[in-house]
Structure 1
Amino acid sequence: MVKVQNQDRKLRLFWREFLLWSFGCFLLYSAYGTLLNMQSSINVVDGLGTFSVTITYATSALVSLLCAPILLRKFGAKKCVCASELTYVAYMLANFYPVFWTMAPTSFILGMGDCIVWSVFAIFNSYFANKYSVLKGTPCNSSRFSGYFYAIFQCAKIFGNLVSFVVLYAFSEATSVENISASASSFKSNTTLLNHVTPNENVASHTNETSNFVREYCGARDCQDPSVVDDTITQYIPSAEIARYSLLSLMLLLCICAFGVHLVFLPNTRGEEFADNTEANDSKCNNFVWIGIKDSFKHLLNVQQLLVMTITFYAGLQYAFIICELTRAFSSCIFGLSMVPIHMSAYGLSACVVAYVIGKFVKSAGRNCLFAFAAIMDIAGYAYCLFVEPDSISSWMLFVVFFTMGGVQGIWIVMTNVLYMVYFPDRLDIAGPMWSVLFICGIAVQFGWSTSLCVAEKIFVHLGVLALSMLTYALAEIRHRKKQGLIIVKIDDNDQNVEENKNEIEHDGLLSNSKRNCSEAIEIA
């Protein structure tokens, strides 16, 4: 009875730790993810938003490759996460006054912190999966806890975007009332002009101009022409400064709360999630930093890692396409900034549901089927964005596009993360940051060329990278299955040898017993 009560208490404590770990990430990315979605819109002038995000992810990729494994080994995952979350606070503060000399340094600092946070996702999810298997006495199921975590993580997109929509919509309504009052006060001075243009003609003219603008400069034809951006700036930025400051204040508060939750409740993890066959684990090693870098590059040149490199890079590329191109070229350009949170909420809802379903049923569906389905849906989504005329897109149609792309993104993020757990289970301190490096490189490249290429050109590049990704993943999976088959054969051979040795021992025992019995019978005779 006492053992059962202790077991229940340990399970309750386990679930509390796991849920608080996930909830802290939920708060953090409710804030940062929402701001990231709007960077290409609210800081669209001179491409400051996309430029700052490029700095963040370029820095993040470099730090992930060179420093993340070293820091994780030296200080542990908890200390690294808590320190990294303070860099998000600095970035939020910089957005209150977005100019080059505030955004560039804080983007660089954020890049160093963001890579650590992404790197520990695999480490903590693997830690909780292993701990649960020990508590329950069942085989470890990393996919289950990755699915649960990313389901909660993707909910951040829903919550953060709904909060931003409420703030932006509320202040846009207030601004509209002010504009109407101002227009009414100047009505008398404009009566002469109004006598020459009827209301119906005025509305029709405005509608035609808007339709022509959407058809020529939105959707796949969006090239971020500076003159076009200047003429239509109200499509991209909040109509009232107080809306911007209120939204940033809420996001800043969420970041601070995330830091507090992880600082108080996150467990310290050291042990099985780190590579136990590396020289860097020797406490007497004086070349700790050099060995960490050497291990990272050695892992990077691993054949299996090289084969999964493209699919991880593509996952980041596709993620950045949604938050950079879909939000600006389709949502903001066609319907205005206030619709971005609504469309991104659909994206978050779909990604959340898919991540949860993957955690539950991934064993039934299998990795190959999920990746194939994601590739087919991405091709369909790109084709829609490429060939449909922007002025014929309705809000609900775009809602469906975001919902579909969100579900596919849920598959890419969860399943590429699971790949690293399955392929490199004993080297997660290096494999986790390597996943982060490649995923972040995809994001950095997408934001980096955002102002240089038109959306249509980017779509063609994405399709090429997707085709290459599926080819290399197929080769990686074949190698993994062959390796697993060799291990099983080796285990079977060992079992057979053990059984043969056991039979020989039993046979020798029987012979010795028969000899002893014969000698005893002779003595008696």
Structure 2
Amino acid sequence: MTDIENAAEIIPKELSFTSLTSENRSRTNSIVDSVAVDFYTSVSSIVPIVIHETNENDEHIKLFPIRQVYKNLIIISLGFLIMYTAFHGILSLQSSLNAKGNVGVNALIVLNIAILFSAIFLTGISTDVFGLKWTIIIGEIAYILYISANIRATPIFMYIGAACLGLASAPLWTCQATYLSCIARYHAHHKQKKVADIVSLFFGIFFAVFGTSTIWGNLISYFILNQSNNPEKFNCGVYFDPLSKNKTDTAPDVSNLTRYVLCGVFVGMGIVSMILLLLLDQIRPSKPQPVAQSLKRSLEVVQSLFRWKNIDQLFLIPLTMWTTVENAFLVAQFTRAFVTCLVGIRYIGLVMICSGICNALCSYIFGDLVKYIGRIGCFIIAAILNYASIMIMYFWKPLEDQMYVLFIIAGVWGVASAVWQSQVAATYTVLYSETDSSAIAKYRLWKAIGSLVTYGYASYITIELTLIILFVFLTVSMILYGIIEIHVRWKQHARQPDAIINQD
């Protein structure tokens, strides 16, 4: 729970989820929605929740009994674990299982566009209309529809399913964060504890459970696809060309029966998750806004994206985009060009498990390490790991009996990803949250653009060119971030003489 505790310390404690004013709610949604854009990555290392220590309206809140608080915490944690076990299992296979016509990757583009739209316009409206519980349930239905579309992965079904999922995911994650903070407040009221401490505790419990979903989802896909393992073994790795007519533009040899079993198991898990979440108690944040007011606030958020109070934020854009560029590469290109091509689709699950475990463990490790070596130290370590992985992929001639190299690359990439996913978000909150209320919204916007760009070219350029792009992109990102660090340290140094003069 280290990173979650750090998040509670570095983010300004300004808002309350259970008694939001109409002025504050749009900003709260903007902060919380950053989780939605990251929902397919790994354990969220920064929990964007901001609260008051006390709330003058607490006497108007209907508090749950302490047993009810525990019940709801267990239900929402297990419900999301089961749903995302299914979702992560099918997500890792998109570039390989649905390679024909690039339907899988194109659906991910549609998904990201819909997420961006829903994060800005739908989060406040859905909460006001349906309340927290039913917004989550509706979101679960969208996940089930997307997974069901993979049974017959035609473009029309996949794109509609991805659009529905994107529109539902941002409100779902906003309501998840709001719900947890509400029951944490109830628990703090009963136990006479600090609200911030209990919020950190509850989010720690939730993400500790939720973080294992990547492992279970990929493990299920590995066992179900056990008999579907006919690797191409043709121009794999750096030689892979997605536009080649030599098998690379076709789906792997997965029988219809195997596909039905795989999707059927995941759909069944989604239904179980939805039934479980029906047992949640309804919570409605007080003072819901009219729809017109919610839309007005959403437009204000959009307008704020084009106002730059800190010019050095522009230098942070490439590094922000890199946080999703590197993850999208792993999901859309590495799994197809290296894993499926060389050893077969069944091993995607095992390789992604390795990446997920390394990511989860190192998220917590770097949460502590940043105190000693700073953000720049963490970024340098992550960049070195990415550079090493890129060089290995570029110069390695893939051989089937060297499958262990795939696990090494995925694991190292997962370690680096743990740094990017947590510390870039922390950079925005530490440097800009007090002076720019739209800082997190900008962070979310550029992450979404990074995903769209990567998924957009993933099916049309060779892996050799992709690795060159990744190398150059990371280099530019690090140089520009270095300029930010120099600027920040210069400003801090410039303030010191003034502070000494004022003391005299």
Q: Provide TM-score, normalisation by structure 1.
A: 0.69
Question: Which residue, 440, 446, 451 being the options, matches 1:443?
Answer: 451
Paired with 1:115 and 1:248, the residues of 2 have a C-alpha distance of 24
Paired with 1:398 and 1:437, the residues of 2 have a C-alpha distance of 32
2:96 paired residue number: 41
Amino acid at match of 2:269: L
2:243 paired residue number: 225
Paired with 1:63 and 1:37, the residues of 2 have a C-alpha distance of 23
- Which structure has the greater CA radius of gyration? 1
- Three-state SS of the structure 2 residue aligned to 1:390 is coil
Question: Which residue, 247, 269, 274 being the options, matches 2:262?
Answer: 247
Structure 1 pair 470/117, CA: closer, same or farther in 2 (3 Å)?
Answer: farther
1:276 paired residue number: none
Paired with 1:346 and 1:39, the residues of 2 have a C-alpha distance of 18
The 5-angstrom pairing of residues 119-518 of structure 1 reads: 136-137=193-194, 150-169=207-226, 171-172=227-228, 214=233, 217-229=235-247, 233=250, 236-238=252-254, 240-265=255-280, 268=283, 270=285, 287-299=293-305, 301-304=307-310, 306-359=314-367, 362-364=370-372, 366-391=374-399, 394-423=402-431, 434-474=442-482
Paired with 2:69 and 2:480, the residues of 1 have a C-alpha distance of 38
Paired with 2:388 and 2:473, the residues of 1 have a C-alpha distance of 15
Cα drift, residue 128 of structure 1: 8.5
1:181 paired residue number: none
Cα drift, residue 140 of structure 1: 6.2
Paired with 1:243 and 1:133, the residues of 2 have a C-alpha distance of 48
- 1:30 is aligned to 2:81: no
Paired with 1:427 and 1:78, the residues of 2 have a C-alpha distance of 34
Structure 1 pair 85/319, CA: closer, same or farther in 2 (3 Å)?
Answer: same
Amino acid at match of 1:61: L
**Kept in 1: contact 2:342–2:400 (CA 8 A):** no
Identity across the alignment (%): 22
**CA displacement 1:2-55 (0-9 Å, x = unmatched):** xxxxxxx99987776556544433322211122111111111112111122221
- Three-state SS of the structure 1 residue aligned to 2:337 is helix
Amino acid at match of 1:408: A
| Count of aligned positions | 437
Amino acid at match of 2:378: L
Paired with 2:243 and 2:168, the residues of 1 have a C-alpha distance of 33
Structure 1 pair 136/287, CA: closer, same or farther in 2 (3 Å)?
Answer: closer
Q: Provide TM-score, normalisation by structure 2.
A: 0.72
Paired with 2:284 and 2:419, the residues of 1 have a C-alpha distance of 27
2:10 paired residue number: none
**Kept in 1: contact 2:105–2:455 (CA 8 A):** yes
Paired with 1:354 and 1:335, the residues of 2 have a C-alpha distance of 27
- 1:100 is aligned to 2:163: no
Cα drift, residue 489 of structure 1: 11
- Three-state SS of the structure 2 residue aligned to 1:224 is coil
Alpha-carbon RMSD across the aligned residues, in angstroms, is 4.5
1:201 paired residue number: none
Paired with 2:474 and 2:435, the residues of 1 have a C-alpha distance of 27
Cα drift, residue 245 of structure 1: 1.0
**CA displacement 1:191-224 (0-9 Å, x = unmatched):** xxxxxxxxxxxxxxxxxxx9xx74x621112111
Give the structure with the higher percent helix: 1
Cα drift, residue 94 of structure 1: 1.2
Structure 1 pair 42/20, CA: closer, same or farther in 2 (3 Å)?
Answer: same
Paired with 1:375 and 1:460, the residues of 2 have a C-alpha distance of 15
Cα drift, residue 397 of structure 1: 1.4
Paired with 1:72 and 1:483, the residues of 2 have a C-alpha distance of 41
- 1:55 is aligned to 2:55: no
**CA displacement 1:370-422 (0-9 Å, x = unmatched):** 22211211111111111111237711111111111122222222333444554
1:5 paired residue number: none
**Kept in 1: contact 2:243–2:461 (CA 8 A):** no
Amino acid at match of 1:340: I
Structure 1 pair 382/17, CA: closer, same or farther in 2 (3 Å)?
Answer: farther
Cα drift, residue 108 of structure 1: 1.6
Paired with 2:461 and 2:320, the residues of 1 have a C-alpha distance of 22
Structure 1 pair 361/256, CA: closer, same or farther in 2 (3 Å)?
Answer: farther
Paired with 1:486 and 1:13, the residues of 2 have a C-alpha distance of 53
Amino acid at match of 1:225: L
Paired with 2:90 and 2:301, the residues of 1 have a C-alpha distance of 35
Q: Structure 1 stretch 100-109 or stretch 472-481: which is displaced more?
A: 472-481
2:41 paired residue number: none
Cα drift, residue 60 of structure 1: 2.0
Structure 1 pair 61/153, CA: closer, same or farther in 2 (3 Å)?
Answer: same
- Three-state SS of the structure 2 residue aligned to 1:351 is helix
Structure 2 residue runs without a partner (length 5+): 1-63
Structure 1 residue runs without a partner (length 5+): 1-8, 177-209, 272-280, 497-525
Cα drift, residue 346 of structure 1: 0.8
